[in-house]
Chains A and B, each alone.
Chain A
Amino acid sequence: SQQGEEDPQALSIQEGENATMNCSYKTSINNLQWYRQNSGRGLVHLILIRSNEREKHSGRLRVTLDTSKKSSSLLITASRAADTASYFCATDGGAKTSYDKVIFGPGTSLSVIP
């Protein structure tokens, strides 16, 4: 079952521009997280947003959560070549499946061109 789904699948931007990635999910959740993966390596946690939060910031990252639309967005401001990576959202399985399950979306591949 696919809970989180990101769009776009791939994004290419110039260094200094902002990058926005979106994640949609199907059932009510407790929390949503965003992770980053450099090519073929383990994922690294970026930010967690709880279901009662609407927006969260961490450095150049801004995450929003709209529980009515079951969607979240990740904004990276002033992108750098080092931000080139794949970005994934992760949610719990929700009440229907299990809050202990973790479901990742297919990811957005971001390329930042110097």
Chain B
Amino acid sequence: EAQVTQNPRYLITVTGKKLTVTCSQNMNHEYMSWYRQDPGLGLRQIYYSMNVEVTDKGDVPEGYKVSRKEKRNFPLILESPSPNQTSLYFCASSLRPLYNEQFFGPGTRLTVL
């Protein structure tokens, strides 16, 4: 089954404790992306990757890191989480953004205390 998986689905952590949210897709897509969703703001792109070892900043990259060492995986790293990073996070993949549909993961709800 074609899918994007994210782990964990729910996470409560404390300020400053490094965390990683994993994302994996099984569709051999070149493009992968991370979004955060906050009430009233829609989805905002954090980082995206056009292919292995190619990443670029979205609209809200501050406080986040990503890496793309394999085509299927695109982890999101919060080196020192802060409460303003409390949000719902989505990973997505596609062949080419906006030329093809993006497939979204189920989301990770992160709370930073």
Contact = CB atoms under 8 A, between A and B. Distances in A.
Given A33-B101, A40-B107, A91-B98, 7 more contacts: A43-B104, A98-B56, A101-B48, A101-B59, A101-B97, A102-B97, A107-B42
B35 interface: yes
Range for the number of chain B residues in contact with chain A: 20 to 34
A99 B56 CA distance: 12
B56 A1 contact: no
A88 B41 CA distance: 11
B102 A45 contact: yes
Contacts of A105: 42
A4 to B, nearest CB: 8
Interface of A: 1, 29-33, 35, 40-45, 48, 88, 90-92, 98-107
Contacts of A32: 98
Contacts of B105: 42
Dominant secondary structure at the B interface: strand
A104 B102 CA distance: 12
A41 B41 CA distance: 16
Contact of A100 (B56, B103, B109): B56
Interface string B54-84: 0010110000000000000000000000000
Contacts of B88: 40
A104 B113 CA distance: 28
Contacts of B14: none
Most buried by A among B41, B90, B98, B104: B98
A105 B59 CA distance: 13
Contacts of B97: 92, 100-102
Given A1-B59, A90-B98, A102-B98, A42 B107 contact: yes
Contacts of B90: 42-43
Contacts of B40: 106
A21 B43 CA distance: 17
Contacts of B42: 88, 104-107
